[in-house]
Amino acid sequence: MHSECVSCFLVQADRMLEKHRIRNDVAKDIILRFRLFVDDHKDNNLTAPEASCFLHRLIKKASGTNDLYKKEKKHYNKLLLNLEEDIRRVIHNSENPFQTALRYALAGNIIDFGPPGQFDVFKALSSAVSKDPAIDHSGLLQKALKKAAKVLYLGDNAGEIVLDKLLVETIRHPNLKYAVRGGNIINDITMEDARAVGMTELTTVISNGYSAPSTLVNRCSQAFRKIYSEADLIISKGQGNLEGLIDETGKKIFFLLMIKCNVMAKITGANQGDVVILYNQKMSLPKRKTERL
């Protein structure tokens, strides 16, 4: 895990500890235990998603809640559902519905309570169609979709899932499965969110069986791993999924995400704030390596 990630996690921790009114002595103990955990695993290729899992387990236990961002998830699901018909109309009336739906799906990746700082979903949506990806392998994605027998779409965040739904609706692939997290973590989607926004009515939704802000294949359920292994094509949303799948060079994966930090900027070659559609078979993504903290 990169040293910059630790600072980011500490900001996240402070925000969650304050949000859930954790006593000061308990909060200090959580921060200490997290730092010790990271230090103990500094030579074991610890990933950011794995560190996040540990931090959230500590705060969940201290707060007595299993869903630290329940209200935020419901809010953004409702917000995007209220905008859904207007966005669908823009997509259907555009010259290239696939490209337009793809741009909105990318814009939705901004809804993320993991990175520090604020985000403006309305600003992201208003500029979605006109914002060109810094890396654009969308043409390859469209061709791959036509050839693929089985497609697996890995979702990311609440609210964003509504825009994923519009992209899935536009793709119209007869054998596409949509994956959600196996448990609550940050504002990532679960089966509850998929039902709430109607994704389960559109396509087959599966759980990956593990509550990480990523897709850590070796930690996921056997049922998910079978579907993953059989997929001809994988569409992966968000930074967390890229972090977990960066070494999966044996699979054809298209990463769709907004670059939210310097670490991801260095990995992809894009700039912070850019959106990218990145085909892993066409770029030399660096394998994850241990960095001393």
On whether the CB atoms of residues 77 and 193 are closer than 8 A, the answer is yes
**Reduced 3-state DSSP string for 69-123:** CHHHHHHHHHHHHHHHHHHHHHHHHCCCHHHHHHHHHHHHHHCCCCCCCCCCHHH
Which distant-in-sequence residues (6+ apart) come within 8 Å of 218 by Cβ? none
Predicted confidence (pLDDT) per residue in 94-137, tens digit: 999 999 999 999 999 999 999 888 899 999 999 999 999 999 99
Predicted confidence (pLDDT) per residue in 225-281, tens digit: 999 999 999 999 999 999 999 999 999 999 999 999 999 999 899 999 999 999 999
Q: How many CB atoms lie within 10 A of CB 105?
A: 27
Predicted confidence (pLDDT) per residue in 185-214, tens digit: 999 999 999 999 999 999 999 999 999 999
Place of tokens 């990523």: 214
Predicted confidence (pLDDT) per residue in 136-191, tens digit: 999 999 999 999 999 999 999 999 999 999 999 999 999 999 999 999 999 999 99
Please tell me the predicted confidence (pLDDT) of residue 25: 97
On whether the CB atoms of residues 221 and 182 are closer than 8 A, the answer is yes
Task: Tell the burial category of 99 from Cβ atoms under 10 Å away from its Cβ (0-12, 13-18, 19+).
Answer: middle
Place of tokens 């308990």: 26
On whether the CB atoms of residues 88 and 170 are closer than 8 A, the answer is no
Predicted confidence (pLDDT) per residue in 25-65, tens digit: 999 999 999 999 999 987 778 889 999 999 999 999 999 99
Please tell me the predicted confidence (pLDDT) of residue 287: 61
Please tell me the predicted confidence (pLDDT) of residue 288: 52
Q: φ and ψ at 71, to 5 degrees?
A: -65, -45
Predicted confidence (pLDDT) per residue in 56-95, tens digit: 999 999 999 999 999 999 999 999 999 999 999 999 999 9
